[in-house]
Structure 1
Amino acid sequence: MEGLNLAFHRTMEIGFIRGFKVGMDNIHLSHFIYADDASLISSGGRLTLVKSVMGSLGIYLMSLFKCPETVLKRLESIRAIFFWGGSNSVKKMSWLKWDKVLASFDKGGLNVGSLKAFNLALLFKWRWRDIVGGRIEQYLKVLLEEIGCPILRDRPDSWVCNLSDDGSYMVKDAREYCILVRWNLSAKGIDIDSIVYPNCNNGVETRDHLFFDCDVARDLWLRIRIWLGCGLPHFSSWDLFVVWLEGVRLTVSSKNRIIAVMVTSLWAIWRFRNDVVFQDSFCSKNSLFDVIRLFSFHWIKNRGHLVSNWNFWLSMPV
């Protein structure tokens, strides 16, 4: 940097550049040093610019909005490239993982700080102002009204899952309630007109009834079993299908094709149900079967690369 200053002073002395005067004190400016001159700045200087300049450019927007992950990753990438002396056209070696550089001094980093943590800190500051501004008393009153008269018991605190009868958490219980069929909505305390499945009107709309036991699903699975031709039995739940798939003797590619067809069928049945409930439209069973074959073919072709011929898929999928 000192050599660059001497070079500019020399060019002023011989008249190549003149500079200009600013302010009431007539300060003479001959040149500026921009952040683009990363190759002329030491690593300590780049570290200072990363902390003081590049870390605070978005302070106003970050204090109002939560920054998307993609934007944060891009900004961190720009800071990392600049810190290691690179640019858009020049790539330099990264001698340390960027997360390590962002860490605090006691963690072995350079105390730069991540933009994500900075963004969240600015947003939480608004929450803190609400609390300190006198609204905490109002929130406390609302909380006490919601709690009512709590009963304190002399025993350790514990987690209780309200999806099961015994209070223990099971993955199958969470999976059972994640699909918002009428039975699950009713179990959550939501007032609905009926819990009967509207497409058949002969059973409660549970997950297993919707996907496997209703008339539409049974007829659809029959067509799928005939089409696949691999001895696929009728299932009354997804768990039974998984058990059958683990025990059947098929190649890995064949099993992947069956899974693709099964998942596409569940999606098609769910969309068929929503069209009937929310849009009062009706899709024929033949059309539903054609949709399953078409979408499962495109899924396997584009994602799994297990099949490429449409005619082959129609005649011999497994």
Structure 2
Amino acid sequence: MEGCVCGGSLSALVNGSPTVEVTIGRGLKQGDPLAPSLFLIAVEGLRLLMTRALDMNLFKGLQLGGEGPLISLLQFADDTLIIGEATMQNLWCLKAILRCFELISGMRINFHKSSVVGIHSGEDFTELAASFLHCKLGQLPFKHLGLPLGANPRKLATWRPILDGLRKRLSSWKHRYLSIGGRVTLINAVLNAMPIHFLSFFKAPNSVIKEIVAIQRDFLWRGVKDGSKIPWVKWETVCKSKDKGGLGIKDVRLFNWALLGKWVWRCMISPRTIWAKVLQGRYGCIESFPKTPNVDKRDSWWWKDIVWVIQQGNYWLDEKIERCIGDGSSTRFWEDKWIGGLRLLDVFPRLYSFAFDPLSMVGHNGNWEGSTWLWQVKWRREPFVHEEGSVNTLIEMLQEIQIFSSKQDQWRWICDKDGVFSVKSAYSWLQHSMGGELSYSSDFILVTKSLWKCKAPIKCLVFCWQVFMNAFPCKSLLQVRGVEVENNLCSLCSLFIEDPIHLFLMCPMAFNIWLSVANWLEVEVVLPNSLTSLYLYWTNLGIYKKSKQCFKVVWVSVIWSLWLHRNGIIFQQGVMDCKEVLDNIKMRSWKWIKSSVPGCSFSYSNWYFSPRLCIS
């Protein structure tokens, strides 16, 4: 590393000719792979100086708990927290450390951007420290790495910057230019991304969740600014995954729980990290996370919220975490879940009551004889006759478990095939276990799973989803929601009430369009009496994968073209023209297929006159 930083030479081009080479005393060439880490290498000197000061007992850090680690310096890139006791000796030592660091590294501390924050140190001493170090006087809460340290996450004021940021981001968008498909995409990409930093650390209060949901719901349904705000579908349904009948927008509450669950998982798999040691020293053994941790009224709000989250849904996190046995040296025989997803103390409470050591490890209940592991569970007394059946059952269960002498025990997340916790898998499990199931027919579930794989524009797919949900502004549905309409007759035929099935299927005009499209595609069809059945029937007309995809696109194109033509008749005083609708269907389907379906490079004329040949 020293050779990279202090070695090498360079020369400059003057009028196209290189000058005499100059030896580099300290620096990196442009493009050097070490360049991104140069700052981290430099500030490593500050850590070494602080470590030396601690070893010489010149600087005293903060001891957390009786057995917790000693904290004095926390660094992340160019953000640094120096933590210590409120004494003049610490101030003199800190000033000397910072001055030495300036001389060694060549980087000067910007005291105008630095602050001194006192916690139970007295206002007089804090003011003295700020004056002594020539920096600002700070107070809790203050912002560090984007989070307000010392703030109460249960107060709405803590979340106000996030809520204001969401509203500000939305106000900059021109709503009139975003379709509902674009709004769905924007919600998933932006509105769920902006508060994720806060949600991954703090439990959001119900009032904050309601406000975030209100912002999202209002943005999704209002269309143009100050326009209609009819919430066509319940928000709980909208937040379901697409294959369960929703739009796949994140449920903020469950997503917040999944994000916080990751902290618990990290504590369990990495108990030796400094932050995990801090929690262990302050709140107790990390291995007790999945169970009921003791919460003291003096504990931090953050810790209380973490405990509250993992206790929800009958301890949802504990239900899906188990031990994967290696040598059995770190897994508790009776109290951990390591055999069939069960705790032996719950399965055999009677046996547990007279176990020789209730806190023993798995590896303490057997011995190796050569390369064979033999189970030998120890008891405080001989089992009674009526207890022998339970003992035999326990031994049979143990015989199915294999012990590996060269492998360590590990935690395993059941919801992932690799056994590793992820927010995605945790959120899916929470949705399944706590979100509730929607009561839809099996045909509807098949339709929703297939619809989102169609290669049509997202705005058209969202509209088709609304059609299947009976949640779009046709006349009969507007009347149901209390909107006055001039008349509720079909805009295409003016003969029957305009409801979803009539508008897109039973209307004589729509029926003729479907028959014309079938004739154009050279297929014989028998049109069913429901839109879900029509979709499943129509999309199965294709034999191969490509042809099935093309039939899906054509189906969506028919629905979308009928809807646009219906709107043209209402708002632009148009007239019903079946040939125009059919031509639009052909043009739209060709554009969508050509741009999205692999292997479809046919011309529009070929598609117009011989579609069957193009997709066969």
Query: Which category of TM-score, normalised to the shorter sequence, fits these structures?
Result: 0.5 to 0.7
- After TM superposition, list the pairs within 5 Å mapping 1:278-297 onto structure 2: 278-282=571-575, 284-297=577-590
Counterpart-to-counterpart distance in 1, 2:475 and 2:513: 22
Counterpart-to-counterpart distance in 2, 1:218 and 1:21: 77
CA change 1:245–1:105 in 2 (3 A) is: closer
Q: 1:56 aligns with which of 131, 143, 148?
A: 148
* 1:103 aligned residue: 263
| Superimposed CA distance per residue, residues 96-123 of structure 1 (whole angstroms, 9 cap, x where no aligned partner) | xx94686369985968999xx9xxxxxx
Are 2:119 and 1:27 equivalent residues in the alignment? no
Q: 2:568 aligns with which of 256, 264, 275?
A: 275
- After TM superposition, list the pairs within 5 Å mapping 1:39-118 onto structure 2: 52-56=144-148, 61-62=161-162, 64-66=164-166, 70=190, 73=193, 99=259, 103=263, 108=268
* 1:158 aligned residue: none
Counterpart-to-counterpart distance in 2, 1:106 and 1:2: 25
Q: Is the 8 A contact 1:181 1:205 kept in 2?
A: yes
CA shift for structure 1 position 209 = 1.8
Which structure 2 residue ranges, 5 or more long, are not aligned?
Answer: 1-45, 50-93, 113-126, 136-141, 150-157, 168-186, 201-257, 269-274, 280-299, 306-437, 445-466
| Superimposed CA distance per residue, residues 1-34 of structure 1 (whole angstroms, 9 cap, x where no aligned partner) | 25458776458789x89989999986356x9xxx
* 2:554 aligned residue: 261
Q: Is the 8 A contact 1:297 1:307 kept in 2?
A: no
Q: Is the 8 A contact 1:20 1:28 kept in 2?
A: no
Counterpart-to-counterpart distance in 2, 1:248 and 1:20: 71
* 2:507 aligned residue: 214
- AA aligned to 2:598 is H
Q: Is the 8 A contact 1:181 1:207 kept in 2?
A: yes
Counterpart-to-counterpart distance in 1, 2:539 and 2:562: 24
- After TM superposition, list the pairs within 5 Å mapping 1:1-318 onto structure 2: 1-3=46-48, 9-10=99-100, 27=132, 52-56=144-148, 61-62=161-162, 64-66=164-166, 70=190, 73=193, 99=259, 103=263, 108=268, 170-171=440-441, 175=468, 177-242=470-535, 244-245=537-538, 248=541, 250-282=543-575, 284-310=577-603, 311-318=605-612
Q: Is the 8 A contact 2:489 2:496 kept in 1?
A: yes
CA change 1:106–1:223 in 2 (3 A) is: closer
Comparing both structures, which one devotes a greater share of its residues to strand?
2
- AA aligned to 2:537 is W
- Percent identity for Structure 1 against Structure 2: 17
CA change 1:71–1:101 in 2 (3 A) is: same
CA change 1:303–1:51 in 2 (3 A) is: farther
Counterpart-to-counterpart distance in 1, 2:471 and 2:565: 18
CA shift for structure 1 position 224 = 1.0
| Number of residues of Structure 1 aligned to a counterpart in Structure 2 | 230
CA change 1:113–1:282 in 2 (3 A) is: farther
Please report the RMSD computed on the Cα atoms of aligned residues, expressed in angstroms.
5.0
Q: Is the 8 A contact 1:220 1:285 kept in 2?
A: yes
TM-score of the aligned structures, taking structure 1 as reference length? 0.53
Comparing both structures, which one devotes a greater share of its residues to helix?
1
TM-score of the aligned structures, taking structure 2 as reference length? 0.30
| Superimposed CA distance per residue, residues 143-162 of structure 1 (whole angstroms, 9 cap, x where no aligned partner) | xxxxxxxxxxxxxxxxxxxx
Aligned partner of residue 180 in structure 1, secondary structure = coil
Q: Is the 8 A contact 2:102 2:108 kept in 1?
A: yes
Q: Is the 8 A contact 2:468 2:532 kept in 1?
A: no
Q: Is the 8 A contact 1:300 1:306 kept in 2?
A: no
Counterpart-to-counterpart distance in 1, 2:192 and 2:573: 43
CA shift for structure 1 position 308 = 1.6
